[in-house]
């Protein structure tokens, strides 16, 4: 493993859930790591308003989910303007050509060569990646080819890949374009369980965008992708659910943010490879 001391946090341009970034960030930076940030096109990710609103009642859970301490930590982070330095994945990774493109074979060969270089560059710069959660990833991270290529590079190198809440969904679809097999097949993972899903609205409260209910049930996707030799662990009824099955560190939702950070540090610092089941 390289020892750059840096971790790349991938975020959505449609918003992130505050503590799902700031919780693990504070734990990782306290352990000596530095986080840098990227979105699909380099636009700064806005914090989703409910994640700083201590009066917001989460409909599925029937309780306030943003604590005073979490809100304060998120607002303190937002005040730093650190996200102004957000990088663009569109500038870091090539776009795979359509089959209908002119001179397709040569363009596909060029894509694979450029992707190889981009993956190698990311592995030189970062020790691990973090896929930040919230409702935003549903829109522009989960089925984003460049996000997939970043994940595939770290998976091939067996570097730590952390994901929380809907950020975990990208692990379902990050597949080699030729093999088309799930990289989490045979693994133990957690993620947003069906009991946590909204009937309408996906956490875009306070914005001008509402796509209705989530377009997929993440629990079902994860359970299918891990296959018969892996397992999805929803741990509904338990306050937290964090699973380490190296190289993956997955966390169910915002309540897991601080524990997720602790396990991420354990993986990075102490060589943890299995935890949570």
**pLDDT above 70 for 206:** no
Predicted local distance difference test score (pLDDT) of residue 3: 86
What are the chain's domains? 6-275 (3.40.50.880)
All residues at 6 or more sequence positions from 44 whose CB lies less than 8 Å from its CB, including other chains: 13, 83, 84, 86
Would you place residue 110 in the very low, low, confident or very high pLDDT band (cuts 50, 70, 90)?
Answer: very high
Q: How do residues 231-254 score in pLDDT, each as one tens digit? A: 999 999 999 999 999 999 999 999
Is the Cβ–Cβ distance between 242 and 260 less than 8 Å?
Answer: yes
Between these two residues, 71 and 209, which has the higher pLDDT value? 71
> At which residue do the structure tokens 């964090």 appear?
242
What average pLDDT does the segment 58-78 reach? 95
For residues 50-68, average pLDDT: 93
The length of the chain is 277
pTM value > 0.85: yes
pLDDT reported for residue 1: 46
Q: Is the pLDDT of residue 2 over 60?
A: no
**Percent of the chain topping pLDDT 70:** 97
CB of 192 within 8 A of CB of 170? no
- Of all residues in the chain, the percent with pLDDT exceeding 90 is 92
The structure tokens listed for 231 are: 């397992």
Question: Quick check: 209 pLDDT over 90?
Answer: no
Please state the rounded mean pLDDT for residues 105-120.
Answer: 98
The mean of the pLDDT values for the chain is: 95
For the segment 35-44, the average pLDDT, to the nearest whole number, is 98
Q: What is the pLDDT of residues 80-99, one digit of tens each?
A: 999 999 999 999 999 999 99
**Is the peptide bond between 247 and the residue preceding it cis, with omega within 30 degrees of 0?**
yes
Average pLDDT over residues 158-177: 97
Residue 201 has pLDDT above 90, yes or no: no
Mean pLDDT of 66-75: 97
Instruction: Please give the Cα distance from 21 to 167 (Å, whole number).
Output: 11
For 134-157, how does the pLDDT look when each residue is reduced to its tens digit (9 = 90+)?
999 999 999 999 999 999 999 999
């Amino acid at each position: 493993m390289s020892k750059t001391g840096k971790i790349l946090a991938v975020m959505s341009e449609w918003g992130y859930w505050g503590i799902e970034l700031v919780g693990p960030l504070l734990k990782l930076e306290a352990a000596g790591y530095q986080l840098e940030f990227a979105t699909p096109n380099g636009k700064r990710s806005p914090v989703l308003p409910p994640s700083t609103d201590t009066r917001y009642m989460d409909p599925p859970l029937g309780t306030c989910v943003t604590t005073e301490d979490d809100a304060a930590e998120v607002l303190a982070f937002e005040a730093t303007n650190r996200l102004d330095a957000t990088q663009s994945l569109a500038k870091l990774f090539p776009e795979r050509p359509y089959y209908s493109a002119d001179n397709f074979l040569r363009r596909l060969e060029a894509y694979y060569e450029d992707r190889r270089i981009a993956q190698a560059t990311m592995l030189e710069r970062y020790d691990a990646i973090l896929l930040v959660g919230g409702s935003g990833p549903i829109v522009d991270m989960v089925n984003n080819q460049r996000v997939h290529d970043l994940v595939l590079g770290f998976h091939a190198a067996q570097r730590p890949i952390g994901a929380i809440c809907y950020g975990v969904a990208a692990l379902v679809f990050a597949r080699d374009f030729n093999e088309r097999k799930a990289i989490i097949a045979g693994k133990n993972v957690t993620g947003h369980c069906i009991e946590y899903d909204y009937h309408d609205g996906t956490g875009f409260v306070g914005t001008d965008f509402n796509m209705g209910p989530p377009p997929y049930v993440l629990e079902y996707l994860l359970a299918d992708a891990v296959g018969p030799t892996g397992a999805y662990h929803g741990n509904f009824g338990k306050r937290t659910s964090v699973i380490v099955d190296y190289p993956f560190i997955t966390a169910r939702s915002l309540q897991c943010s601080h524990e997720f950070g602790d396990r991420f540090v354990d993986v990075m610092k102490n060589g943890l490879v299995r935890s949570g089941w």
